[in-house]
Structure formats: structure tokens, C-alpha cells
Amino acid sequence: MAFDFPFLFSLCKLPFTFGVAADAIVSTGLSKLGYHYVNIDDCWAEIARDDKGNLVPHKVKFPSGIKALADYVHSKGLKLGIYSDAGYYTCAKKMPGSLGHEEQDAKTFASWGIDYLKYDNCNTDGSKPTVRYPVMTKALMKAGRPIYFSLCEWGDMHPALWGMKVGNSWRTTNDISDNWESMVSRADQNEVYAEYARPGGWNDPDMLEVGNGGMNKSEYIVHFSIWAVSKAPLLIGCDVRNASKDTMEILGNTEVIAVNQDKLGVQAKKVRMLGDLEVWAGPLSDYRVVVLLANRSPVKDTITAHWDDIGLPADSAVTVRDLWEHKTLETKFVNNLTATIDSHSCKMYILKP
């Protein structure tokens, strides 16, 4: 498996029919682009376990249970994600966490046909994440079904340093909110750990806010572009049933998705920062390089990427593909590439020698 993209809904806020989410992912065409997981977040269970200690799906939100939902989601060619917590209660405190019940809960998830587990870090016993998370890793390995393990300890103990042995991705940051400052600060915190990401274990700067309305279109393009070059899990966080044309154009940019899914699996880094003008770059398969020129300032400006900053020989002539204009530039470029970029906007290119 390469790495798939989940789709996330919080049940604490929305009473949501997940079958409808699965239908929408298929009818919008997003599933064909690689968005395969439909993820249930907090508040999916009753507050009390049953008399055998098992988690009980919320009787109003999931009247037919989770297994029936998993069967439905699988029948659409999708996968189902669920949520728990390495503490006594989850963050919303409306259902139990898995601390002390790891094996039992992992078996329950496997028996329902769950494919993905997000594991949160609220209401714990005060012990370290490095102690509590590996217990669930072992439990999942014994449960008899491959389940993607998404660590969500918010970057508390630098999970990039130990996450590879414990899970498939790890949140490097606190929760994102739907505004520019929050988004760029998540991007920055996540970038610090670029060296630690590789196939099998990814840095996760949290879900995508694209489509939720708190940023404008070019800011959402910057958001999606940074997540893509950072090889971050692309978790759609908006209601895809009403996604606008602009939202679909961003989430559906197959050239940008292909960068995220590139088989080399190397996370791009910020190679130059001239104040608010940034050059991000990283290698792709077949000796290609992805370059992101991002203008974080309030005014239009010019940004130059120099070959010696982005890992190309200074004299190499490259063809340049603009991934948001969907155009290959007419001339070959040598030594550097310059673009004029609007405020809170970016250009994303693939350079091919």
C-alpha cells in the first residue's frame, strides 16, 4: 500500500450519517483520486462499556452498530477509521478511552473491520506517551487485522523521534484551526521533523481545513501545497457534500496529490527564508525536484529558487511544470527560477532535468 488519505468528521459537533459521507466521497469522485478512508472521530460510543468491558457504539448515532457501517463503507471500496484515546476518557469525555483496555479494544476494532485508528492523548494517568502508545501498537499487531495507527499526542514528546516503531503517522502539532496563522504555524512546527518522515511513518500537521471558509482560495492553495510537499496525510476536514467548485479544484488537483504520494516519500524542507518569502523543496522520484515558492507577506513580491539551494547542479537545464496552472513553461531554466507571487499565495513546480 502507498499511503491513503482519510476523511474526518467529528461526531461531537455533527450528528452524522457516515454512510452518507462514504456516498459523497464516491459521488464527488474524490475516492478515485485516492481519498480512501472515512474516519470517525470522538463521541462515537456510549459513555459506559458493556458488562464484559466492551466499547458500545452510540445507540442513537450508530443504531446498526459499527460493523454494519464498516461493511457498507467497504462495499463502496473505501476504508473505515475509528478513534480512541490513550487515557481513561476521550477528549470530549463522552466515551471511555482505551487505557487499560488496549487488547480488548483492538480486538473489537478488528472484529468490526476497522482499518485505521486515531489515538488521542486526553485524560491519561500522567504517564508518558512513549509508555502508553506502544501498548496499543502491540495490541493492534495481535488483533489479526492490519490497522493504520495514527498517533495523536500533539507533538508533546517529539513523536517523530520514536513514532516510526510505534505507528504509521504521528501528529507533530496541536489541533489546527481554520485560519492562516494556525495553518502556517502547523506547517512550521511540522517542517522541523522533515528528516524523520519516510514510507511507513509520516509527520502529521493535522487535517486539512480546505473548504471550511476561514481562509481565502489562495491561502487554501498554500495550505494544500505545503501539506502535499510535506508528505502529510491528506485528511479532508470539510463537509464534502457541499464542497464548492474551488474546494474541489484544490482537493482534486491530481498533480499536487501525485507529489504527496510520490514513491520516494521524502518530505520537502524550507531551504530558504527571506523574511516572509519562502522556498520549499524536496526530491521526487526520477531525479525530479518539487519546489514551492510561498509568499507569506501581506504584499505581492518576487521569489527566486536557486539550484544550489534545491539540490540541482547549477548548470543543469530543467523543464518546469506549474502544478496549479497545469502548464509546462515554454523555456528551459538554468541556475534559478523566479516568480512574482501575490500575498498569501504560492507557486508549486516540478523541475525535471
Ligand X SMILES: *[C@@H]1O[C@H](CO)[C@@H](O)[C@H](O)[C@H]1NC(C)=O
Would you name the residues annotated as active-site residues? 120, 175
Distance CA 95, CA 309 (A): 50
Q: In the bound complex, which residue of the shown chain has the CB atom lying closest to ligand X?
A: 343
Number of residues that bind ligand X (CB under 6 A): 15
Residue 239 near ligand X by CB under 6 A: yes
Cell numbers representing residue 29 in the block: 469522485
Alpha helices in 36-112 (DSSP H): 65-75, 102-112
Of the pair 196, 333, the CB lying nearest ligand X is at 333
Give the nearest distance from C-beta 298 to ligand X in angstroms.
5
Of the pair 219, 262, the CB lying nearest ligand X is at 219
Instruction: Give the one residue of 216, 244, 285, 328 binding ligand X; rule: CB under 6 A.
Output: 216
Of the pair 18, 196, the CB lying nearest ligand X is at 18
Instruction: For the segment 217-236, give every residue that binds ligand X (CB under 6 A).
Output: 217-219
Of the pair 319, 335, the CB lying nearest ligand X is at 335
**Burial class of residue 29 (count of CB atoms within 10 Å of its CB; 0-12, 13-18, 19+):** exposed
Instruction: Give the one residue of 241, 326, 327, 332 binding ligand X; rule: CB under 6 A.
Output: 241
Residue 319 near ligand X by CB under 6 A: no
Give the nearest distance from C-beta 224 to ligand X in angstroms.
15
Question: Residue with C-alpha cell 510520490?
Answer: 262
Do 278 and 293 contact (CB within 8 A), yes or no? yes
Distance CA 125, CA 298 (A): 45
Residue 343 near ligand X by CB under 6 A: yes
Instruction: For the segment 242-281, give every residue that binds ligand X (CB under 6 A).
Output: 242
- List 82's β-bridge partners, or say none: 117
Q: How many CA atoms lie within 13 A of 194 on its CB side?
A: 19
Cell numbers representing residue 204 in the block: 502529521
Instruction: Give the one residue of 68, 271, 277, 334 binding ligand X; rule: CB under 6 A.
Output: 334
Of the pair 230, 247, the CB lying nearest ligand X is at 247
Distance CA 58, CA 45 (A): 4
Of the pair 20, 48, the CB lying nearest ligand X is at 20
Give the nearest distance from C-beta 169 to ligand X in angstroms.
28
Instruction: Give the one residue of 137, 177, 212, 336 binding ligand X; rule: CB under 6 A.
Output: 336
Give the dihedral of Cα atoms 77, 120, 262, 313; nearest 10 deg: 170
- For residue 289, report the phi and psi dihedrals to the nearest 5 degrees: -130, 135
Distance CA 43, CA 26 (A): 25
Residue 335 near ligand X by CB under 6 A: yes
Residue 347 near ligand X by CB under 6 A: no
Give the nearest distance from C-beta 338 to ligand X in angstroms.
6
Cell numbers representing residue 159 in the block: 513523536
Instruction: Give the one residue of 63, 126, 275, 298 binding ligand X; rule: CB under 6 A.
Output: 298
Distance CA 353, CA 350 (A): 10
Residue 304 near ligand X by CB under 6 A: yes
Cell numbers representing residue 295 in the block: 509568499
Give the nearest distance from C-beta 219 to ligand X in angstroms.
5
Rg of the chain in Å (alpha carbons): 21
Residues that bind ligand X (CB under 6 A): 216-219, 239, 241-242, 298, 304, 334-336, 342-344
